[in-house]
Amino acid sequence: MSVLGLLDPAVRLAHDAVSGLAQLFPTALAIVLFTVCVRLALHPLARAAARGEKSRLRLAPQVAELNRKHKGKPEKLQAALAELYRTEKASPFAGCLPMLVQIPFFSVMYRLFTTPNDLLGHTVLGVPLGLHVNAAHGPAQLMVFGALYAALAAVGYVTFRRARRTTVTAPGASFTPYLAFGTVLFAALVPLAAGFYLLTTTAWTAAERAWLHRETPAPALAVAA
């Protein structure tokens, strides 16, 4: 059994959930609604991560001072940082938790949309959800894929602009903002159904992050990063 095969019980649950929604809505919309429901369930983790980032922002001056004080003494620096975070009840890794939790969900959705099943036979504007872009032909199919990639690129651009502002002072991070467009490239490798999932989850991430950090100036976020 492959590693992804271990996800089959969760894949069946996801399939049943999307199928149930597809009894009430078009299947493409059912995929969107299911993704939104899962991301909504994960929202408390995102809020915790935002609090962690704000804690790092608050502690950034002290961290910088410890780096200066213990320059060239990595053992003392690590001990001092650990004590600082323990005292302040903060963690330098708090922002990683939501991303790590989303990995199993992403893997389940990837398995669902890349394994033949009845959902992929449904259509949106006449285009099968199991279709890959390299097999698309005709105006209708090209229009659907083009609209999807344009929407993904728009979300990527918003994320790119925000990442540029928050990494402008981080040495060696100049390439990082361009990763926002990676979703468009990945969407070209998966069926249309997976593209709708990617669009929904990336748009949610962009909107959620903007909301949670709406009161934090971009330069401050860069210092925290």
Return the percentage of the chain with pLDDT > 90, whole number.
Answer: 41
User: Is 167's pLDDT higher than 60?
Assistant: no
Q: Is 93 exposed, middle or buried, given 0-12, 13-18 or 19+ CB atoms closer than 10 A?
A: exposed
Contact 162, 134 (CB under 8 A): no
> Residue 145 has what pLDDT?
96
Bridge partners (DSSP) of residue 123 are: 128
Contact 199, 156 (CB under 8 A): no
Over residues 5-25, the pLDDT tens digits come to: 678 899 999 999 999 999 999
For the residues of the chain, what is the DSSP string, one character each? --TGGGGHHHHHHHHHHHHHHHTTS-HHHHHHHHHHHHHHHHHHHHHHHHHHHHHHHHHHHHHHHHHHHTTT-HHHHHHHHHHHHHHTT--TTGGGHHHHHHHHHHHHHHHHHHS--GGGG-EETTEETT--GGG--SHHHHHHHHHHHHHHHHHHHHHHHHHHHHSTTSTT-TTGGGGGGHHHHHHTTS-HHHHHHHHHHHHHHHHHHHHHTTTS-HHHHHHH-
Residue 223 has a pLDDT of 46
Please say whether the beta carbons of 181 and 156 come within 8 A.
Answer: yes
The token pair at 155 is 């979300």
How many Å apart are CA 135 and CA 142, to the nearest integer? 10
| Domain residue ranges in the chain | 4-224
What is the overall mean pLDDT for the chain? Answer: 84
Q: What is the pLDDT of residue 7?
A: 81
**Vertex 125, ends 186 and 136: CA angle to 5°?**
45
Q: Is 152 exposed, middle or buried (0-12, 13-18, 19+ CB in 10 A)?
A: buried
Give the distance, in angstroms, between the CA of residue 96 and the centroid of all CA atoms in the same chain.
11
The pTM of this model reads 0.80
Condensed to tens digits (0 to 9), the pLDDT of residues 55-86 reads 777 787 888 888 888 888 888 888 888 888 88
Residues in Cβ contact with 105 at an 8 Å cutoff, skipping those fewer than 6 apart: 38, 42
Average pLDDT estimate for 187-216: 90
pLDDT at 224: 45
